[in-house]
Structure 1
Amino acid sequence: MPPERAAQTGKPRVLAIAEAANPEWVSVPLVGWSLAQALREVADVHLVTQIRNRDAVLRAGLVEGQGFTAIDSEAFAAPLWSLAEKLRMGEGKGWTMVQAINALSYPWFERLVWKTFGADIRAGTYDIVHRITPLSPTISSSLAGKCAKAGVPFVLGPLNGGVPWPAGFDAERRREKEWLSYLRSAYKLLPGRGATLRHASAILAGSRHTAGEVPERYQHKVVYLPENGIDPARFARRADPAPGALRACFVGRLVPYKGPDMLLEAAADLLRSGQMTLDVIGDGPMMPQLQAMAADLPGVTFHGWMAHRDVQQVMAQSHILSFPSIREFGGGVVLEAMALGVTPLIVDYAGPGELVQDGLGFKVPCGTREEIVRRFRVELQRLAADPAALASTGVATRQRIESHFTWSRKAEQVRAVYDWIRSGQPGNPPAFFL
């Protein structure tokens, strides 16, 4: 974008780097895409992403060469991704292994980004370089130092990940093929991490845990900013459960750490008595086990996998999102439930525990499997006594989403960080979630 146009609009010129940015996918690629797009409301943004996202970005309406650039790093990325799929030994498992392999291929992507945009960065074409994805704090950035040398502020994040497995869930950890998670903290010793943090002008941390992993000498530039957000156009419905029994839903992969088996066990008595119904949205290796557990439980419906845009059709029929997951980084599904006015019932650990504050849902302390089942059973029985009373909590959750968690609000929060950087970083960094 010509410098004179930036002066006219008053918007900072931002090179937004999101290797994973795809409007048609979920999880990290959707976060990368959504944040980069929302930032266009407050900044003049040029998106840089990986070639695998090109067609989806074009279908979304961006013009290649103007709104975005696709970097072809497949020479390294494709074979290493294939290797990761083999090493993780199971569909959807071994996430730490995938991140470790990505850490090997990602530097080539950044090298190609610098080859394409280095001259423009040195020439001052951009006011800010912002690396949005990868979200993993284990993956360093060579661009941070290069931008610092060029005198262009570099923003890193939001970063999130590495939440420790709770004590008592080693069996689930092994079933998820998370062998490398035992060694994850070694990433702090990897070359490049210190330089990345040192050269970054601001470090956006998606969780309190990730913020706490940043060394004390860099804490003055850490901003807590949960990475997930809500697109009101995608989640526009309002909760409207039928009167009568407590209607609950579970949304997620059917894998051990998400706890769908714990939920069925906790809800069994209420399901048998007709005081509760349960919609299970998602698929995964536990499906046969869960169906067997529910064989004699009336009121349980397994919907299987559903397109992301269709999930809200089922969720909106619920009073509560019953979600006993014990290892969520961001907890996007919790925000989606809150956006609909569906009250979350969660385990007070990691991402969901940070999102569900007083008056916005219900939390049970983390503990052993038996403790979580017992605590969920008690809460479900309490809520089933008067499901209609949850309506007021639903109003509060929607208000919280509108005030803090729409992508537009996220963009405004990031813009405040940009302004803080460009003003010389006086005082403490902005705080949005006190």
Structure 2
Amino acid sequence: MTRVLAVAEAANPEWVSVPLVGWSLASALREVADVHIVTQTRNRDAFLRAGMREGTDFTAIDSEAIARPMWKLAEKLRLDSGKGWTTLQAVNALSYPYFERLIWKRFGDDIRRGAYDIVHRITPLSPTSPSPLAAKCARAGVPFVLGPLNGGVPWPKAFDAERRAEKEWLSYVRGAYKLLPGRRATLTNASAILAGSRHTASEVPEDLQDRVIWLPENGIDPARFSRTAAPQPGKLRAAFVGRLVPYKGPDMLLEAAAPLLRDDRMTLDIIGDGPMMPALRDQAQRLGIDAALTFHGWQAHEQVQDILARCHLLSFPSIREFGGGVVLEAMALGVVPLIVDYAGPGELVDATIGLKVPCGTRDQIVAGFARELARLADAPEQLAPMAAAARTRVQNDFLWSAKARQVARVYDWVLSGRTSPRPDLFRP
């Protein structure tokens, strides 16, 4: 069995977003390879609670001497707002190499003597974080796999106000990361580069494209998404799940759905919270749609699944999603996604499993959603074949166990010296 040192600085089964991705993929890989996970010490207790054995299954690296003050700096720069994602990633990119320095100090001798067949950096997901380990592994003759990488999807030009509302000042000069020391060396010394989005893949230099493989970073735990949607017959039932912020478009959704909600042809569940909540409540009252609309606020995972399972449709007009994990979660339940055709969701959804509205201006997106919702409200049952196809797609390609098998194919390709055809992970 392939021996893998899996580097996952962010990996935690009790958190969400990137840490959950890091944990889920690293632990799933243990089904297909002999994996030892290296993570940051902040995740140690969660690993132990999950049944992992320290020293045998994982090693926790204490990089807090640099990580903690840099995190505090990032929060100050973000004004403790929870916004400014690009700023956070920029600061993390400065502090991350120290973590890998400590990894080499602990595992360098083992890597040099061939204790591992592959070193795989799973997180950070951001392509702006260079990996000094890549060159060191190359010198030791051990293949280095990088990714999945994702991030930096450009803001649609029509939504610059939303960009400023998210305090994404650094996004205007994000492309400068390509000039950072270590970026070219990281990519050159990687035997395979897993790209979580087509955009991220396009940012890899042309002469290195032969090692790039598309692998969306999100996956599904079937134990967490075990229901099958069974909406009641009759009116169209839709849901929105996410943070209530401008770029996710909940206000656009209310405007698009208003005629159907007023006429009792549709119900809408809004799951999530955020700074837009008061304005959205005011908007709902002004549009006269309160009776058919429910604001649930933040809900535990089990409750989110229960609410979604009563719906035909995930109505999600977000204009900037890197991965689109909520889209996969809805599909896993048999809830058809209606999304903006841009970035992560646009790559995950095709005409057999969901519906896409072109990414244009705000008015164009509202009109597109209004048109699709009106068509579906006339016969919600028409979504049943798509719902079944969406569940099948997730079962075949997006369970974490399936993703582990996909990555195992990459390992085989790398260990063969890349003499065989590059694996297409989404083709039988």
- TM-score w.r.t. length of structure 1: 0.96
1:309, distance to aligned residue in structure 2 (A): 4.0
Please tell me whether residue 391 in structure 1 is matched to residue 397 in structure 2.
no
Residue 339 of structure 1: aligned partner: 332
Match runs of 1:265-344 below 5 Å: 265-295=255-285, 296-297=288-289, 298-344=291-337
Give the gaps of 5 or more residues in structure 1: 1-10
1:105, distance to aligned residue in structure 2 (A): 1.0
1:91, distance to aligned residue in structure 2 (A): 2.8
**Residues in 2 aligned to 1:281 and 1:31: alpha-carbon distance in whole angstroms:** 21
**Residues in 2 aligned to 1:198 and 1:420: alpha-carbon distance in whole angstroms:** 17
Residue 95 of structure 1: aligned partner: 85
Match runs of 1:91-170 below 5 Å: 91-170=81-160
| Cα contact 1:48–1:69 (8 A) shared by 2 | yes
Could you say what secondary structure the match of 1:49 adopts? strand
Could you say what secondary structure the match of 1:168 adopts? helix
Of 39-48 and 86-95, deviating more is 86-95
1:90, distance to aligned residue in structure 2 (A): 4.6
Please tell me whether residue 432 in structure 1 is matched to residue 422 in structure 2.
no
Residue identity in the other structure for 1:430:
P
**Residues in 1 aligned to 2:249 and 2:397: alpha-carbon distance in whole angstroms:** 28
Residue identity in the other structure for 2:169:
W
Residue identity in the other structure for 2:390:
T
Residue 244 of structure 1: aligned partner: 234
Residue 27 of structure 2: aligned partner: 37
Residue identity in the other structure for 1:45:
V
Q: Over residues 231-287 of structure 1, what are the superposed CA-to-partner deviations in whole Å (9 max), with x where a residue is unaligned?
A: 111100000111111110000111111000100010011111111111111111111
**Residues in 2 aligned to 1:268 and 1:224: alpha-carbon distance in whole angstroms:** 38
Q: How many residues are paired up?
A: 424
Could you say what secondary structure the match of 1:164 adopts? coil
**Residues in 2 aligned to 1:327 and 1:311: alpha-carbon distance in whole angstroms:** 22
Residue 408 of structure 1: aligned partner: 401
Equivalent of 2:350 in 343, 357, 370: 357
Residue 7 of structure 1: aligned partner: none
Could you say what secondary structure the match of 2:281 adopts? helix
Equivalent of 1:181 in 149, 159, 171: 171
1:123, distance to aligned residue in structure 2 (A): 1.1
Equivalent of 1:367 in 325, 335, 360: 360
1:183, distance to aligned residue in structure 2 (A): 0.4
Residue identity in the other structure for 1:101:
V
Which aligned runs of 4 or more in structure 1 are off by greater than 4 angstroms? none
Residue identity in the other structure for 1:349:
Y
Residue identity in the other structure for 2:313:
I
1:427, distance to aligned residue in structure 2 (A): 4.0
Match runs of 1:226-241 below 5 Å: 226-241=216-231
Q: Aligned-residue CA RMSD in angstroms?
A: 0.9
| Cα contact 2:6–2:37 (8 A) shared by 1 | yes
| Cα contact 2:413–2:420 (8 A) shared by 1 | no
| Cα contact 1:220–1:428 (8 A) shared by 2 | no
1:310, distance to aligned residue in structure 2 (A): 3.2
**Residues in 1 aligned to 2:321 and 2:426: alpha-carbon distance in whole angstroms:** 19
Give the gaps of 5 or more residues in structure 2: none
**Residues in 2 aligned to 1:99 and 1:337: alpha-carbon distance in whole angstroms:** 28
Residue identity in the other structure for 2:419:
P
**Residues in 2 aligned to 1:75 and 1:232: alpha-carbon distance in whole angstroms:** 38
**Residues in 1 aligned to 2:59 and 2:280: alpha-carbon distance in whole angstroms:** 44
- TM-score w.r.t. length of structure 2: 0.98
Residue 3 of structure 1: aligned partner: none
